[in-house]
Each structure stands twice: as structure tokens, then as C-alpha cells.
Amino acid sequence: EALSSDGWLGKTIRDLDPNKENVVTGVSFGSGLPRAMYLSGTPAISVSELEGYGLLTDLAGRQQRQAIKAFTRMYAPEEFEEADVVWDHLGQTGLDALTGADMLKTAPPAYTSSIEYANDALSQSLKGIAQVHLSGIGTRIFYAQLGGFDVHGAQIQTQRTLLENVSRSVGDFFDDLRENSGSEEVIMMIFSEFGRRIKDNGNGTDHGSGGGTLLIGDRVKGGFYDPYPSLAPEDQLDGDMHFSHDFRSIYSTVLEQWLDLNPNPIVNGTFDQFENVFNI
């Protein structure tokens, strides 16, 4: 199949907000917008750190207001002498960024919690997600990333450290949501960009096919939705695990059963869904 530049979450944001009424329907925490959230013409915001997020944050008071006003005029369509698709796009992108910054900066002051998140990047990203979700500004899709898994040596200790980080930060996140009565509205999907080979290379494992996905949340019916994969040599695929489901089956399940969207145009096809995953 041809590789599309349209991200499945970008298309999800489009379908959740078809009239583009809320520029913060999709928010990513981290460095740059992930490819999954990109879709031309659909606003999505990338935030590195919520506490300091905004426009011209190194300015203050009247100087900042004047500078922002100048930016607003610069991005206004009426400032363009001639209609131009590129300028229209740039102008709308700029205005979306201004609007999004104004909305997101309201989240931290309204947030209270007894949960003490760790100071690592993932924990702080999940804290930011909790703040925005609990603020009620209407964000439906959040994205956070944790790197460091692409190792081919000292893998056991590295994986242990990383997964302990994941466990702690995810636990703090849901404790925070429960404390603020916001957990039943949220599910989290954890997935990896790549699988691993079955046989080690002496210090770790190289990239391979197949991988696992976790769905977490108070409304998720816990358990295994597939048999544990066989590692027997006769069941391997050239040294890799056989995957049992197309990943788009998982996407389709979440899109239709949790977000109440038609998954077919988002994942470009019809795929079997898992049954009885959510308590809704």
C-alpha cells in the first residue's frame, strides 16, 4: 500500500471537529508534532512545556500585549493584498496558534492536585495532559512520547528503567485524574514504533515484526485480548513473531467504540474489531 502523509489521528481530529471550532481538539506534548497527528488544514498543537507555553513569553505586560496585537494583525487575512492559498494557510495557522496559546495557558492556574509527578519528560507531559483535560477546554486527543527504547545493547537494564518510568508516570496520571473525578472520560493507548526479534544478538535484540499494545483506563475491561504469542521455532516468521492482528483493528476499535466515529475513512479500510473492550 502507498504510504500516506495524512496521520490517522489528524483525520480523527478532523472528524471530531469538522467545523474547526476548537483549535485545541488535538494537543501533543513533546518536541514537534508527531506524524500521526498531521493532516493538512486540520489544526493540532504541539507543546513542549505547558507552564511556559505561549507567544512571546519572554516579554511581559504592555510590551507583550502590543507584540501579540501586531502578530494578530500580521496573520489576519484582510492584511493580504491578494487572495493566496499559501498566505491563507499561513495566516490561519498563525491565528490558530494564538488562539490555542490563549486557551492552554488557562489550564495550569485552574489545576490543583496532591499528586507529585516525577521530573522526567514523560511524567511532566502526562501532568500537562491532566491539566489540560481537567481544565475542560475541549481537547479530545492527546499525544506523548518516550524515547530511548531503540537500543541494541544493555537492553535488559535499559528496558527495565524505561518501563519503570512508564509504570510510575502512568500510575500518577490516573491517580491524578481519579482525584479530580476525570478518569472515566479517558483511555490511554500505549504502543511502540517497532517490534523486536526473538533471538538476542548477545546484548539485546534487533528490530523485528509484531508488537504489543496496551489500552488503559477505568472503563477498559482488563485482560488479554489475544493468546500469548508462541516463541516456538516452528511458529516464527524468519526469526520474528507472527502478528495476530492488523494494528488498524485496534485503531478501528477505539475510533468506533470509544470515540463514536466511523473508522473506515480514517484507517482506509474495514478491519475486524475487538469486542467488549469498554464499559460504556
pLDDT in tens, 55-73: 555 555 566 556 656 655 6
**Better-scored residue on pLDDT, 242 or 119:** 119
pLDDT band at 160 (very low <50, low <70, confident <90, very high): very high
Report if residue 17 sits inside a domain.
yes
Residue 207's φ and ψ, nearest 5 degrees, are -65, 140
pLDDT band at 89 (very low <50, low <70, confident <90, very high): very low
Last residue within a domain, chosen from 85, 118, 148? 148
Report if residue 164 sits inside a domain.
no
Find the mean pLDDT for residues 10-21. 97
Q: What single-letter DSSP state applies at residue 50? A: S
Q: Examine the pLDDT at 136 and tell me if it is beyond 80.
A: yes
Find the mean pLDDT for residues 237-241. 88
Query: What's the total number of domains in the chain?
Result: 2
Is the same domain home to 10 and 141? yes
Report if residue 231 sits inside a domain.
yes
Is the same domain home to 25 and 141? yes
Is the same domain home to 197 and 139? no
Report if residue 180 sits inside a domain.
no
Last residue within a domain, chosen from 124, 148, 172? 148
User: What integer pLDDT is reported at residue 85 of this predicted model?
Assistant: 46
pLDDT band at 25 (very low <50, low <70, confident <90, very high): very high
Q: Examine the pLDDT at 90 and tell me if it is beyond 50.
A: no
Predicted TM-score (pTM) of the model is 0.86
Residue 46 β-bridge partners: 28
Residue 190 β-bridge partners: 214
Which of 114-128, 142-156, 172-186 is the least confident region? 142-156
Contact 254, 189 (CB under 8 A): yes
Last residue within a domain, chosen from 128, 148, 168? 148
User: What integer pLDDT is reported at residue 76 of this predicted model?
Assistant: 57
DSSP element (H, E) containing 61:
helix 61-75
**Taking the C-alpha atoms of 6, 275, 247 and 204 in order, what is their torsion angle to the nearest 10 degrees?**
140
For residue 221, the enclosing domain spans 187-279
